[in-house]
Amino acid sequence: MTRTGLRAVEEWPDLVPYLLAGSGQGHNLATGMPLVHPPVAELVRSAFRRAVEDASFTRRVSLYHGVLGDPELRERLARLYGEHYALPVTAEEVLITPGAQAAFHAVSALAAARGRRVVFFAPEYPGYRTHPEVRYDMLLPEVVEQGDREFRYLPPAGRLDPDVGAVIVSRPANPSGNVIGDAALAALAGECASVGALLVVDNAYGPPIPGLAYRDMGLPWGDNVVCVQSFSKGALAGERLGFVLAPAPVVRELGELQARVATFPPQLVQFAAAILLRDGRYVELCGGELRDAYQERHRLVRDRLAAGLTVPYRVHAVDGGQFAWVRLPGLAGRTAELFFTLLDRGVLVAPAAPFYLPHLHDDPHARQCVRIGVTAPAEAIIAGLDIFTEVVNEHG
Ligand SMILES: Cc1ncc(COP(=O)(O)O)c(C=O)c1O
């Protein structure tokens, strides 16, 4: 492996696992693909059928529409999230976006316009770093060990200043699976408010859509809080549909930024989503069978690691999402190097470094962690982890 090759891996954007997935070779445990659960996929198919057959079809797909999103969908989402989290959400506080990713870019554009920086807590999803004019900064979390096998990241307190325009946290987190506790998140929202920053909570894996949290969680609400949601893990990743819950002035500001790029999100998928929410079946499946299927995969990964690894390791508490985040404290070298050894053996895992900004690449967790996706087929997980544990046992 060359130094350039190592640097390229350490600076992966999160797109790389998707691109690698296309090769179809080996056991891809770096994947960020959603799990396809046929009952949810079928429900989506029938919602699209109804959308296409509806009398409003031609009007919807042939004309231009409102910038903030389909009124029925905004109303249904406000009611669903308001009821689920006991929050006073109204339709004016919902912005529909062409995927959550679009909302993150709009948040960065907002920070750029205000000349303020965007802060993350390591490790964090690289997909938020989209804007060439934004200064992105990253702070290390507190690490708490739990029992013999687990650890947990806690957001650092008292580290923000008035130069910060937004703090973005994934919750459930990619890569760690962490769900920051409600009290810690409320404290963070308060700290953000005290310096005039937005707290942006990426709930792309959280309930009720798609429902992939394995720990009880609330959502924060307030003048400076922006919650970003996604339909991607609810069988709609290909159709690009997300939404933001935020105070109406923030919704309008983000909507204006979005309008400059996309004018408004596509109509048919918004209508299909509104149809999906007309009864409780979709949400019930997301929080039920779909969540169970993800949890089953998490158990498979845990069991395989426990059975195979003879060297010390710890995993981050699996509070939600689709990744296991594993620390190998005795590893000789970095997981970015281990990546190449595993690649030679036909196994892909995501090394830790891309989830850290470069100035933190020497942090022990940036050197010693790997992200293992749980959505590969079960056979690939079993075969891939057998090779992974064998290789790791040789390297410490
Ligand atoms: C933490 C996190 N947020 C957001 C997204 C992307 O959501 P969307 O597909 O709606 O853009 C992903 C994608 O995997 C993710 O891992």
Ligand 1 closest atom vs CA 99: 10
Are residue 299 and residue 385 in the same domain, yes or no? Answer: yes
What's the rounded Cα separation, in Å, for the pair 321 and 325?
11
Domain boundary among 247, 282, 317: 282
Task: Provide the domain count of the chain.
Answer: 2
Tell me the CA–centroid distance for residue 102 and ligand 1, in Å. Answer: 10
When pLDDT is cut at 50, 70 and 90, the band that residue 1 belongs to is low
Q: Which of 101, 104, 200, 269 maximizes ligand 1 atoms within 8 Å of its Cβ, making it the mutation to test the pocket?
A: 101
Q: Within its chain, how far is the Cα of 38 from the centroid?
A: 22
Are residue 85 and residue 74 in the same domain, yes or no? Answer: yes
E runs forming strands in the chain = 27-28, 94-97, 117-121, 136-139, 142-146, 150-154, 164-170, 198-202, 225-230, 242-245, 314-316, 323-327, 347-348, 350-351, 369-373
Ligand 1 closest atom vs CA 233: 9
Q: What are phi and psi of 14, to 5 degrees?
A: -70, -10
Ligand 1 closest atom vs CA 97: 10
Query: What is the sign, positive or negative, of the torsion defined by CA atoms of 16, 22, 27, 32?
Result: positive
Are residue 239 and residue 318 in the same domain, yes or no? Answer: no
Find all residues with CB under 8 Å of 44, minimum gap 6, and list them. 234, 235, 236, 272, 276, 282
**Is pLDDT above 70 for 116?**
yes
Are residue 10 and residue 77 in the same domain, yes or no? Answer: no
Domain boundary among 255, 282, 309: 282
Nearest CA among 176, 168, 170, 172 for reference residue 192:
168
What's the rounded Cα separation, in Å, for the pair 179 and 218?
10
Q: What is the pLDDT of residue 23?
A: 57
Are residue 116 and residue 201 in the same domain, yes or no? Answer: yes
Are residue 277 and residue 288 in the same domain, yes or no? Answer: no
Ligand 1 closest atom vs CA 241: 10
Are residue 149 and residue 48 in the same domain, yes or no? Answer: yes
Domain boundary among 264, 282, 300: 282
Give residue ranges with CB within 6 A of ligand 1.
32, 99-101, 125, 170, 174, 202, 204, 230, 232, 237, 242
Q: What is the pLDDT of residue 395?
A: 84
Q: Which of 14, 96, 169, 174 maximizes ligand 1 atoms within 8 Å of its Cβ, making it the mutation to test the pocket?
A: 174
CATH number at residue 316: 3.90.1150.10
Mean pLDDT of 65-71: 97
Are residue 243 and residue 310 in the same domain, yes or no? Answer: no
Ligand 1 closest atom vs CA 102: 11
pLDDT tens digit sequence for 232-285: 999 999 999 999 999 999 999 999 999 999 999 999 999 999 999 999 999 999
Tell the residue nearest (CA) to atom 13 of ligand 1: 32
**Helices (H) then strands (E): counts for the chain:** 14, 15
Mean pLDDT of 219-239: 97
Are residue 320 and residue 261 in the same domain, yes or no? Answer: no
What average pLDDT does the chain have?
A: 95
Tell me the CA–centroid distance for residue 124 and ligand 1, in Å. Answer: 12
What's the rounded Cα separation, in Å, for the pair 162 and 114?
11
Burial 100-115 (b: 16+ CB within 10 A, else e): bbbbbbbbbbbbbeee
Ligand 1 closest atom vs CA 34: 14
CB atoms within 10 A of CB 278: 12
Q: What is the pLDDT of residue 3?
A: 66
Tell the residue nearest (CA) to atom 1 of ligand 1: 174
Q: What is the pLDDT of residue 17?
A: 60
What's the rounded Cα separation, in Å, for the pair 135 and 122?
16
Are residue 22 and residue 55 in the same domain, yes or no? Answer: no
pTM score: 0.96
**Is pLDDT above 90 for 4?**
no
Are residue 223 and residue 344 in the same domain, yes or no? Answer: no
Tell me the CA–centroid distance for residue 101 and ligand 1, in Å. Answer: 6
Q: What is the pLDDT of residue 22?
A: 55
Q: Within its chain, how far is the Cα of 228 from the centroid?
A: 10
What's the rounded Cα separation, in Å, for the pair 304 and 388?
10
Tokens of residue 31, six digits: 């994947």
Mean pLDDT of 375-381: 94
Structural domain including 273 reads: 41-282
Mean pLDDT of 156-162: 96
Q: What is the pLDDT of residue 190?
A: 98
pLDDT tens digit sequence for 276-319: 999 999 999 999 999 999 999 999 999 999 999 999 999 999 99
pLDDT tens digit sequence for 166-208: 999 999 999 999 999 999 999 999 999 999 999 999 999 999 9
When pLDDT is cut at 50, 70 and 90, the band that residue 162 belongs to is very high
Identify the helix (H) or strand (E) that includes residue 391.
Answer: helix 378-395
pLDDT tens digit sequence for 270-287: 999 999 999 999 999 999
**Is pLDDT above 90 for 366?**
yes
pLDDT tens digit sequence for 9-62: 777 766 566 556 555 668 999 988 999 999 999 999 999 999 999 999 999 999
Are residue 267 and residue 302 in the same domain, yes or no? Answer: no
CA dist 358 to 65, 134, 136, 160, 167, Å? 42, 16, 11, 20, 18
CATH number at residue 85: 3.40.640.10
